[in-house]
Amino acid sequence: MPSKIIVNAGREETRVAVLDNSLVTEIYIDRKKDRGIAGNVYKGRVMKVLPGMQAAFVDIGLEKSAFLYVGDVFDSASEYAPMMDDEGLELEVETKRKRPQAGSIEDLLQEGQEIIVQVSKEPISTKGARVTTYVSLPGRYLVMMAGVNHIGVSRRIEHGEERSRLRGLVGNFRKPNTGYIIRTASEGKSDEDFRSDIDFLDRLWNTLQKKKERMAAPALLHNELDLVFRIIRDAFTNDVDKMVIDSPEEHQRAKEFVDSYIPGLSKRVKLYGHDEPIFDYFGVEIEISRALGRRVWLKSGGYIIIDQTEALTTIDVNTGRYVGSRSLEDTILKTNLEAVREIGYQLRLRNIGGIIILDFIDMEREDNRRKVYSALQEALSHDKAKTTISHISPIGLIEMTRKRVRESLGRTLCEPCPYCDGRGYVKSSRTVCYEVLRELRRAFTGADEKKALVTVNSVVADMLYDEERQGVEVLEKDFEKKIVIKADPNLHQEQYEVVMV
């Protein structure tokens, strides 16, 4: 569990870092011009029903229509758990809504129909938001689920007696056709705590219903709390030593919120008092820089390479400078085990989700492969996001998935390189030289002009003047034409222009 929450509240953006024993484990960023929408509830209008995809596009008032899959129109109550960006909740379901007989999307929705939806996944890359018709409203101790008769308990609450006690308390307050997920923070809480949480969620739901009746689609019915308040609600528990905020205004807001919501922790909300920037003081800034790098060094001298693509992320383990002291197999095992710990940390820090392929160094012994697999299970056991992992293959590959509800840290802070168009590499200057020579040959064929003006990047021009000068001279001799090379330092290395004059 985290021991400190550090808040850097600026005018343009708010950044929050969660520290566990002085180690930065999670980073959240909320930009006022690009605020996230996960958890927001909208009154939307079905724009298009796609039978071939068993999905629909819903206008919720954003630039891109939201995506609603048939499984998010009707499903069992247990599906609430993976929709929550909460604490990787796994539920023991006391009662499940009887699952309706499967139907097609065109039987459930029609174009022009108005529906209430909640954003379950942020727009990611080129994809619009993903939405569900099951609306859930999180409180401090409970998550309210409208339209189901269901009580679930987070599996992080391990003791059977406590689980039964909590389920009984909430059952006493539960109204018909309303369900609740009992969150981890509920452990040890009294009926009064649950009563106040339920009253708060009931007021929230009633306000949402009134807005639904009077507002035309598309419309925002409920706006999720801002980042600082969400962190207080979801992560500010008794295990947190303190929450340090560098803005007096934001500190005051947070203090008032904690006073009214969890007054017992009010004294732990601190105002930062040093001149050095707060993220520098707590070592967060340097961790953000590391999290944007492709290569991450291990203490032994080995390293991992992290590459993100549109569809998946690959992580490759290498021994690097580590040569070991005993056998090759022992060196490989130690590097892989060290890499496992770093991979678990980097997945959380970078918030990498989706399909992930881990390429460990090949191990000959089956028991060593089992050690690496077990170590990975242990490293991921502390991750709030839901993960699934396959068994390690004979060549050291592991396929895994990690639940993704928002953009990774890299995609939040960075954009595709305009120079290489996000590929991560550009054509070499020699490759471009040969392309220019081929283009000159094409331009000379059948041309009446006696001269060609070639404009290229300065690096390419230097190579045409020097190492590839002979190729230029051969063309001039073969076609009896003059070639003039002009260097333009502002030109992309892959770009060039050949003009006959």
Predicted pLDDT of residue 75: 47
What's the whole-number mean pLDDT along residues 78-99?
A: 40
Residues 6 or more apart whose CB falls under 8 angstroms from that of 321 comprise: 301, 302
Confidence of residue 71 (pLDDT cuts 50, 70, 90): confident
What pLDDT is attached to residue 295? Answer: 92
| Each residue's pLDDT tens digit, 122-157 | 887 778 899 999 888 998 889 998 878 888 888 778
Which residue type sits at 37?
I
Q: Answer whether 265's CB lies under 8 Å from 272's CB.
A: no
Q: How confident is the model at residue 284, as a pLDDT?
A: 93
Confidence of residue 74 (pLDDT cuts 50, 70, 90): low
Distance of alpha carbon 130 from alpha carbon 67, whole angstroms: 5
Type of residue found at 122 = E
Q: Residue 410 class from Cβ within 10 Å (0-12 exposed, 13-18 middle, 19+ buried)?
A: middle
Please tell me the predicted confidence (pLDDT) of residue 93: 37
Q: Tens digit of pLDDT for each residue in 390-433?
A: 988 888 899 999 987 677 888 888 888 888 877 778 899 999 99
The whole-number pLDDT of residue 454 equals: 96
How confident is the prediction for the chain on average, in pLDDT?
86
pTM for this model (two decimals):
0.74
* Residues whose CB is less than 8 angstroms from the CB of residue 167 and which lie 6 or more positions away in sequence, other chains included: 94, 151, 153, 182
What is the number of other CB atoms lying within 10 angstroms of the CB of residue 377?
Answer: 13
- The answer to whether 243 and 230 are in contact (CB under 8 A) is no
Read off the pLDDT of each residue in 158-169 and give the average, rounded to a whole number.
Answer: 87
E strands, 440-500, are: 451-456, 482-487, 496-500
Report CA torsion sign: 239, 155, 339, 326.
positive
Q: What is the pLDDT of residue 176?
A: 82
Residue scoring higher pLDDT (86 or 397): 397
Q: What is the pLDDT of residues 198-214, one digit of tens each?
A: 888 888 898 999 999 99
CB 469 within 8 A of CB 414: no
Mean pLDDT confidence for 12-31: 90
For residue 8, pLDDT over 90 is answered with yes
d(CA 49, CA 68): 9
Give residue 89's pLDDT: 41
**Given a cut of 90, is residue 45 above it in pLDDT?**
yes
Check residue 238 and give its pLDDT.
82
Please name which of 159, 33, 58 lies closest in space to residue 113, comparing C-alpha atoms.
Answer: 58
Q: Which DSSP symbol is given to 395?
A: T
Of the chain, the percentage scoring pLDDT greater than 70 comes to 92
Q: What b/e string do you get for 244-268 counting C-beta neighbours within 10 Å, with b at 16 or more?
A: bbbbeebbebbbebbeebbeebeeb
Tokens found for residue 41: 């509830």
Residue 500 has what pLDDT?
93
**Predicted pLDDT of residue 476:** 94
For residue 324, the model assigns a pLDDT of 64
Identify the sign of the CA torsion 401, 405, 411, 415. Answer: positive
Average pLDDT, stretch 86-102? Answer: 40
Q: Which two tokens stand for residue 318?
A: 């290498």
The answer to whether 483 and 434 have CB atoms below 8 angstroms apart is no
Predicted pLDDT of residue 33: 74
Question: Could you tell me the pLDDT band of residue 252, with boundaries at 50, 70 and 90?
Answer: very high
